[in-house]
Amino acid sequence: MVINGRPHGPWRGTTVCQLHMREYKDGDIIVIEPFRAAAFPVLKDLSIDRSAFDRIIQAGGYISVNTGQAQDANAIPIEKDLASEAFDAAACIGCGACVAACPNASAMLFVSAKVAHLGLLPQGQVERKRRVQAMVKQMDAEGFGMCSNVTACEAECPKEISVENIAMLNREYFKSVIGSETSV
């Protein structure tokens, strides 16, 4: 929800459920509204339908794994910086604040976080090209707007997901479309 014009309220890195009424002064006026975006229709009162995010995840938010015995956790070495970057992207809770904050109602921060957290790890390499194309295609089909680099999404994200993920998504998408393995 939007509180006094800001998704999740006035405090950075905080969701609505983490806000305390004691932070407001007696007599303060608090205006509460649902997130507004065409892809998030209002169901009633403050409830919105965020199932568009679910359909984006269904389009490509998975990795292929062999069934059977679980692999030892240390069997696939992952560089610390890469693991940290993937973990930071995986922190996205899919709340939709990024969409609500964006003047274009873009879901690029959400999609980029999902593409990054799966695509950075070795297990996610098999679907890497297909994932980015499928998720971007579904995002467009859901009616989300285009990213115009306003970065309001990053400012309002309660998990402080970086817009650097959007740049990575754009690079991944470009590489998958042109079929090049070279860095862009």
Condensed to tens digits (0 to 9), the pLDDT of residues 5-14 reads: 999 988 889 8
Q: Please tell me the predicted confidence (pLDDT) of residue 73.
A: 66
HEC string of 102-117 equals CCCCECHHHHHHHHHH
pLDDT tens digits for range 114-128? 999 999 988 888 889
Query: Which of helix, strand or coil describes residue 102?
Result: coil
> What residue ranges of the chain have pLDDT lower than 50?
183-184
Q: Please tell me the predicted confidence (pLDDT) of residue 180.
A: 54
Total residue length of the chain: 184
Q: Please tell me the predicted confidence (pLDDT) of residue 184.
A: 44
Could you report how far apart the first and last alpha carbons of the chain are, in Å? 37
Query: Which of helix, strand or coil describes residue 6?
Result: strand
Q: What percent of the chain has pLDDT above 90?
A: 68
Instruction: Out of 1.10.3720.10, 3.30.56.10, 3.40.470.10, 1.10.1060.10, select the CATH number for domain 50-63+77-178.
Output: 1.10.1060.10
Residue labelled with tokens 């754009």: 170
Q: Please tell me the predicted confidence (pLDDT) of residue 77.
A: 82
Strand partners, 37: 40
